[in-house]
Amino acid sequence: MSAVIDIQDLWVEARSSGGSFQPIVEGVTVSVYPGEVVALIGESGSGKTTTALSAMAYSKPGCRIVGGSITLNGRDLLKLDQEERRQLRGREAAYVAQSAAAAFNPAIRVGDQVIESTAIHQLMPRDDALREAVKLYQRLDLPDPERLSSRYPHQVSGGQLQRLMAAMAMSSSPALLILDEPTTALDVTTQISVLSAFKDLIRGQNTAAIYVTHDLAVVAQIADRIVVMQNGKVMEAGATEQIISRPENAYTQTLMAAVRPPPKSISVEGEGSDQTDDETIVSVDSITAGYGRTETKIVLQDVSVAVPRGKVVGVIGESGCGKSTLARVIAGLLPQRSGEIYHHGQALPHVARRRTRSVLKNIQIVFQMPDVAINPRHRVREILGRPLDLFIGLSASARESRIDELLELVELPTSYKTRLPGELSGGEKQRINLARALAAEPEVILCDEVTSALDTVVGKAIIDLLKKLQANLGVAYLFISHDLSTVASFADHVVVLYAGRVVEQGPLASVLAPPFHPYTRLLLNSVPELRTDWLDGVVASKAHLDHLGQAVDSSKVGCPFFNRCAVAVNDVCNRRDVPLRQMAQGHTVACHLELDALRE
Amino acid sequence: MVRLLIRRILLGIVVTWVVSMMIFAATELLPGDVCHAVLGQGATEQSLESCRERLQLNQPMHTRYLQWLGRLATGELGTSLANDLQISDQIGARAWNTVRLAALTALIAVPLAVLLGLIAAIRADSSVDRGISIGTLCFISVPEFFTGVLLVYILAVQLRWMPAVANYRDLTRGDFLEVIEALALPIATLTFAVLAHMTRMTRTAVLNVMSSPYIEQAILKGASRSRVIIRHALPNAVAPIVNVIALNLAYLVSGVVVVEAIFRIPGLGTLMVESVIYRDIPTVQAIGMLFCVTYVGFNLIADVMAIIANPRLRHPR
Amino acid sequence: MSAASQVPSGADLKTRFTPSLIIGLVIVGFWLLVALFGPALAPHLESDIVTDMSYAPAGEVGLLGSDYLGRDVFSRLLYGARMTMGLALLVTLLSFSLGVILGFIAAISGRWIDGLMSRINDALMAFPSIILALIVMSALGTSLMIMIATVAIIDSTRVFRLSRALAMDISVMDFVDVARSRGESLWWITVREILPNTLAPLAAEFGIRFTFAILFISALSFLGLGVQPPAADWGVMVKENLQGLLFGSAAALMPAASVASLTVGVNLIVDWFLSRLGGDVSQELMN
Ligand SMILES: Nc1ncnc2c1ncn2[C@@H]1O[C@H](COP(=O)(O)OP(=O)(O)O)[C@@H](O)[C@H]1O
Ligand code: SF4
Ligand SMILES: [Mg+2]
């Protein structure tokens, strides 16, 4: 049996900002056989997408393929002219992009885009193609398949669009499917249904597939073989089982080490060890906050959280649930509508500028995007020096040596003092951000998704650093993340946020063990685990996938999770205010169900 | 969408209303009154009085404003301060020259600019694109009077291909060829002035669309170049291009004033400039209002078309 | 339209001289020298009548011939350089200070003040610029001071819009929020956090405004509403000698070509700047 796609010794160059061409893919060899899924993994910029796109003889603007051979179904693509290449694209190989929302043309109906390949290559009449599309929609569990074709992209939700991308790719029954991080932009709870839909489809059609991702746990579910890339080169290639359980290459081992264990497997000794008599530094009480002038955009509703001295409070929830808003309210960047923020029991003014210097000093914030969180025109010395001047007040020489100390604290060379942010990598910028917060010697640092924009390995190093600082300096964190594994590996106390409301909170151990709030349970079950049979195991209980297509509903009556909850009680959950149940010391769950029901 | 359209049209009306107030208020800026300013130091008490009478300066401001609006609406604009001719007659006699010049220019410039902009965008970074880019950069930079003077100097004076001065007054009745011959140079001058901006902005708008992920997706489906452009790029480029056109038809309004002066065409532009020199304020106000309404109208049309062209608004969730 | 996605990086600005940039620098440098030293080197005064021959051809009288009154075109061209460029620079400086200061104030102050200022700006921008100038000048007269003020105010509306947009884009960035959460004053935030990040696009805008001022002023002069004779201004010179074209005199062509070359030169420099700034910002500037 011959390979569907056989890429040998591929070299690709890209134009650098100076105008000269630099290699970005160096001698990569990959081949995929029918019915096989090969994953390309590696951190961002390692050349995964470039390699995958070359299988369609395509390179992004500014890039060019300079060497090697690419054989698709027995033909060497690099020997074909433009027109012959065009004939292959969409017919023999199809592409699923990372962001479906951007890859769908906003001006054309979904159906016409799904069947466009068949129209371009005149594979079948339009009516037949549309009928086939409806069958694909059904197999992908898309709601309302009969009418879906006539919608416009903005009328379809993100998770559904991503599945429609798969339908679009499969409409012409290509021999090769290229999937480029197709679930990265999705929330975990949505990712699971999309992932299983993709898997069914590929298995069902016996299609060969190249799956690009940076997430090893996702790869484990779907790939037969894995190719690990770094800096444009292949580090290691092998069967999925082998790479996951016995990585040989040093870089692969680092990647594996950075994967956090799934939260379910974490066992925390001593249930509910916190709360007791730790002094509370910062707390918010029944905060309601939102954007805009009118009441239309309420984002946080009745949120109460407390951060004890030296502890880590993790805040978890999907994107848009109001996590960042919470941090902004506490930092005094967004005045709340109602409720109070307390610092050592004292209510704080809503706006940062009105707060006392000592309050400002003791509550620091670190943002998600390292690129925009520091002023690109300020040098590192200025960035770290400003909080020193404001909050500490040192002589010139003491200031200078304190800056050195701070850089050492975040494990950066002191020579970085004179650099501009543009001269630092993403991880280094994030360390500077952290050092700036530390400069004020705060009691608590609000960390908003501080690792989300970083590659896994770099992110893990930041988490390790945070842990070390906590142990050495006794600083507390409000640690916000959409990634349950990260929070679970780190937090003492966990707050689960859904549609701007706290649905469950308590000591880490109690939150990770039954009784669960139904949403927490869903989250826990959705985090992919690093074993190849995880997805099949989860999807065996297909019931819980059914509700996930729904968009988050933030209606004010009843339980916000109602439309996605597998165990919801109609006429109760959607009608009545949700009671807050005390489970154990400091552990609360907001749900209509009784303790026993939540336990199973 | 309908609500959005209605809101946009109402906004257009409000803008027109504000503009009319500002134009009216221009006369109130003066330290003395208009008559003092217009008739100068040597004016007799009697002439001042008759002037005030004519402009009804004795009445309160808001009454005069309302009366002025009424006169604008009915076209009874009264007589000019410079001579005793009816303002509406003067405008009527000259408007056709201006409208004809502007309309013919638009007819040539708009399709040409869109075409050039498309070519430049589709062949981005090729030598064609660079040529268009340098050419348009030069034409953006040079004043209309330079293009005009150069064209006259080369085509009419040196080569004697066409008349340097035409008798525009008789053109009203002239046959088509005569009109074209007489207006060729003014139209060419004006075209160069608006063409460059329109071409550049069209190019940017199309390039923006062409760099979207959905264009790449279409290419990866095997769509041909023409399919990518016609089916995928153009529908999304319509709104920005329409905006570009409207914006530049507004440049046309300004350009017309200068071009009429170069070629001494008796149009609204020259009338307005003459009136400014004679401080004939009522005439200036009337023509200014006319130009502004046209300008606001173009922008309104562009916005309306952009709203209609947006699938998100046409097919709400 | 938003530049929020990326702060233009200044590092790129240092790199790569292109041929068109060099041409632009040479042209602008040349005219700057002419404006500074030209009048001192001119063979005649701007108002001297040197011959009784109108429209004498180049070479016969002076270097470039004589104009409709028999004045030396070459000398008037040198004086005109100072007049035209000086006026344009003055207008640009005025409009720039006005636009940037008000734009920043609008961007950082509350909804109410910003709304009011923006509406006024919108109203001014609802006029075609030359029409607005004509209306104002018909009411207030056509003195030089009034022309300068009018053009500067009209010009500042675009500066206002750009600097407000730039400041807004930057002020929602996380590093500004970090400064706010430190309790920094509005002054510090504006001057230390926002302003440095707007300098590059504002520099490009200065060039654009400068060419606009040159074109606008010479157009007004050409219409007889700007600089008044006998002062030499390039626009005035075109107007005065327009008739001469019919007799084959290039006296109108020379000043027109001078304006054109100067503005082309400035635009070549601006274009280079824009290409270094990246798409979003340059589009904001172009419109
Ligand atoms: N500046 C803003 N103006 C209006 N709405 C906003 C703004 N910032 C965030 N939102 C909305 O508030 C909600 C919560 O946002 P955010 O707190 O950023 O969520 P998270 O951090 O959990 O992803 C989202 O629906 C988002 O669209
Ligand atoms: S209240 Fe009802 S809908 Fe909400 S989580 Fe509990 S069971 Fe589900
Ligand atoms: Mg967030």
User: For A88-102, how does the pLDDT look when each residue is reduced to its tens digit (9 = 90+)?
Assistant: 999 999 999 888 888
Per-residue confidence (pLDDT) for residue B165, from 0 to 100: 63
CA distance to partner chain A, nearest, from residue B8 (Å): 22
Q: Contact C11/A420, CB-based, under 8 Å?
A: yes
Cα C218 to chain centroid distance, Å, stands at 11
Q: How confident is the model at residue A549 (pLDDT cuts 50, 70, 90)?
A: low
Per-residue confidence (pLDDT) for residue A433, from 0 to 100: 93
Whether the Cβ atoms of residue B159 and residue B143 lie closer than 8 Å to each other: no
Look at B146 and A210; give whichever has higher pLDDT: A210
Q: Which residue has 């993403």 as its token pair?
A: A426
What is the rounded average pLDDT of the residues B163-184?
65
| pLDDT for A292 beyond 80 | no
| pLDDT for C287 beyond 70 | no
The finding on whether A551 has its CB within 6 A of some atom of ligand 1 is no
| pLDDT for B254 beyond 80 | no
As for how many domains chain C has, the answer is 1
Please write the tens of the pLDDT for every residue from C206-221: 888 888 888 888 888 8
Nearest to A90 among B212, B213, B222 (CB): B222
Note whether residue C170 is domain-resident: yes
Per-residue confidence (pLDDT) for residue B288, from 0 to 100: 87
Query: Hey, is the C-beta of B298 within 8 angstroms of any chain C C-beta?
Result: no
**How far is it, in rounded angstroms, from Cα A407 to Cα A413?**
6
Containing structural domain, residue C75: 24-280
C-alpha count within 13 angstroms, C-beta hemisphere, residue A328: 19
What is the rounded average pLDDT of the residues A429-443?
93
Per-residue confidence (pLDDT) for residue C8, from 0 to 100: 39
CA distance to partner chain C, nearest, from residue A277 (Å): 29
Q: Who contacts A103 (Cβ-Cβ below 8 Å, separation ≥6)? A: A97, A165, B213, B214, B216, B217
Note whether residue C264 is domain-resident: yes
Quote the mean pLDDT of chain A.
87
Note whether residue C160 is domain-resident: yes
C-alpha B208 – ligand 3 centre gap (Å): 28
B 187-246 residues inside an 8 A Cβ radius of C: 200-201, 204, 208
Per-residue confidence (pLDDT) for residue C12, from 0 to 100: 43
Please write the tens of the pLDDT for every residue from B293-309: 888 888 888 888 888 88
Per-residue confidence (pLDDT) for residue A445, from 0 to 100: 95
What is the rounded average pLDDT of the residues A134-152?
86
Note whether residue C115 is domain-resident: yes
Ligand 2 atom having least distance to the Cα of A565: 8
| pLDDT for B311 beyond 70 | yes
- The domains of chain A, with CATH numbers, are 5-259 (3.40.50.300), 278-511 (3.40.50.300), 521-599 (no CATH)
Per-residue confidence (pLDDT) for residue A384, from 0 to 100: 94
Q: How confident is the model at residue C13 (pLDDT cuts 50, 70, 90)?
A: very low
| pLDDT for B5 beyond 80 | yes
Whether the Cβ atoms of residue A150 and residue A111 lie closer than 8 Å to each other: yes
- Against chain A, the chains showing at least 3 CB pairs within 8 Å are B, C
Nearest CA in chain A to B217: A103
Note whether residue C33 is domain-resident: yes
Q: Nearest to residue A564, comparing CAs of A547, A586, A587? A: A547
| pLDDT for A272 beyond 70 | no
- Percentage of the residues of chain A whose pLDDT score is greater than 90: 40
C-alpha C189 – ligand 1 centre gap (Å): 23
- Percentage of the residues of chain C whose pLDDT score is greater than 70: 87
Please write the tens of the pLDDT for every residue from A451-478: 888 888 888 888 999 999 999 999 999 9
Whether the Cβ atoms of residue B143 and residue C218 lie closer than 8 Å to each other: yes
Mutate to test the interface with B, among C84, C223, C273 (most CBs of B within 10 A): C223
Please write the tens of the pLDDT for every residue from A487-525: 988 899 999 999 889 999 999 988 888 788 989 988 888
What is the rounded average pLDDT of the residues B177-189?
80
Q: How confident is the model at residue A553 (pLDDT cuts 50, 70, 90)?
A: low
Whether the Cβ atoms of residue B211 and residue B237 lie closer than 8 Å to each other: no
What is the rounded average pLDDT of the residues A144-167?
87
For ligand 2, atom 8, name the residue with the nearest CA.
Answer: A568
For C115: left if phi > 0, alpha if psi spans -120 to 50, otherwise beta; the answer is: alpha
Whether the Cβ atoms of residue A375 and residue C193 lie closer than 8 Å to each other: yes
Q: Nearest to residue C122, comparing CAs of A325, B120, B22? A: B22
Whether the Cβ atoms of residue B48 and residue B35 lie closer than 8 Å to each other: yes
End-to-end CA distance of chain B: 12
Note whether residue C12 is domain-resident: no
- Percentage of the residues of chain A whose pLDDT score is greater than 70: 93
Please write the tens of the pLDDT for every residue from B283-295: 888 888 888 888 8
**How far is it, in rounded angstroms, from Cα A554 to Cα A501?**
10
| CA distances from residue A355 to A447, B129, C185 in whole angstroms, order as listed | 20, 57, 12
CA distance to partner chain A, nearest, from residue B208 (Å): 13
Q: What is the SS3 assignment for A189-211?
A: HHHHHHHHHHHHHHHHHCCEEEE
**How far is it, in rounded angstroms, from Cα A475 to Cα A445?**
7
What is the rounded average pLDDT of the residues B236-258?
82
Whether the Cβ atoms of residue A414 and residue A404 lie closer than 8 Å to each other: yes
Note whether residue C50 is domain-resident: yes
Q: Nearest to residue B35, comparing CAs of B20, B24, B50, B21? A: B50
| Omega before C230 within 30 of 0, i.e. cis | yes
CATH code for position C121: 1.10.3720.10
| pLDDT for C6 beyond 50 | no
Q: How confident is the model at residue B38 (pLDDT cuts 50, 70, 90)?
A: low
In DSSP terms, which residues pair with A584 in a beta bridge?
Answer: A587
Please write the tens of the pLDDT for every residue from B43-84: 677 777 777 776 667 777 778 788 888 887 777 777 776 677
| pLDDT for C11 beyond 50 | no
Per-residue confidence (pLDDT) for residue A276, from 0 to 100: 52
| pLDDT for C114 beyond 90 | no
Nearest to C181 among A19, A365, A369 (CB): A365
Whether the Cβ atoms of residue A323 and residue C144 lie closer than 8 Å to each other: no
Ligand 1 atom having least distance to the Cα of A449: 21
| pLDDT for C252 beyond 60 | yes
**How far is it, in rounded angstroms, from Cα C204 to Cα A74?**
54
Task: Please tell me the least confidently modeled range out of A295-304, A398-407, B40-49, B87-96.
Answer: B40-49
Q: Contact C248/B144, CB-based, under 8 Å?
A: no
The finding on whether A562 has its CB within 6 A of some atom of ligand 2 is yes
Mutate to test the interface with C, among A377, A420, A449 (most CBs of C within 10 A): A377
Per-residue confidence (pLDDT) for residue B237, from 0 to 100: 87
Q: Contact B311/A121, CB-based, under 8 Å?
A: no
Q: Where are the strands (E) in A274-379, listed by range?
A: 280-291, 297-308, 312-316, 338-343, 346-347, 363-366
Phi first, then psi, for residue A82 (nearest 5°) are -55, -45
Whether the Cβ atoms of residue A509 and residue A272 lie closer than 8 Å to each other: yes
Whether the Cβ atoms of residue B146 and residue C264 lie closer than 8 Å to each other: no
Determine how many CB atoms are found less than 10 A away from the CB of residue A500. Answer: 25
Quote the radius of gyration of chain A (alpha carbons, Å): 26
What is the rounded average pLDDT of the residues A163-188?
87
Please write the tens of the pLDDT for every residue from B127-146: 888 888 888 888 877 888 78
Look at A21 and B81; give whichever has higher pLDDT: A21
Per-residue confidence (pLDDT) for residue A89, from 0 to 100: 92
Q: Which residue has 């018909």 as its token pair?
A: C138
Look at A226 and C20; give whichever has higher pLDDT: A226
Nearest to C181 among A19, A332, A422 (CB): A332
What is the rounded average pLDDT of the residues A195-222?
86
Q: Which residue has 């609000």 as its token pair?
A: A446
Note whether residue C14 is domain-resident: no
Q: How confident is the model at residue B167 (pLDDT cuts 50, 70, 90)?
A: low
Please write the tens of the pLDDT for every residue from C36-75: 887 777 777 777 776 777 777 777 766 777 777 778 778 8
Q: What are A470's two structure tokens? A: 């906590």
**How far is it, in rounded angstroms, from Cα A500 to Cα A510?**
22
Q: Contact C11/A422, CB-based, under 8 Å?
A: yes
Going by their DSSP bridges, the two strands A476-481 and A93-96 should be labelled as unpaired
**How far is it, in rounded angstroms, from Cα C178 to Cα B67?**
57
CA distance to partner chain A, nearest, from residue B15 (Å): 25
What is the rounded average pLDDT of the residues B77-92?
75
Residue C98, helix vs strand vs coil: helix
**Residue A16 is which amino acid?**
S
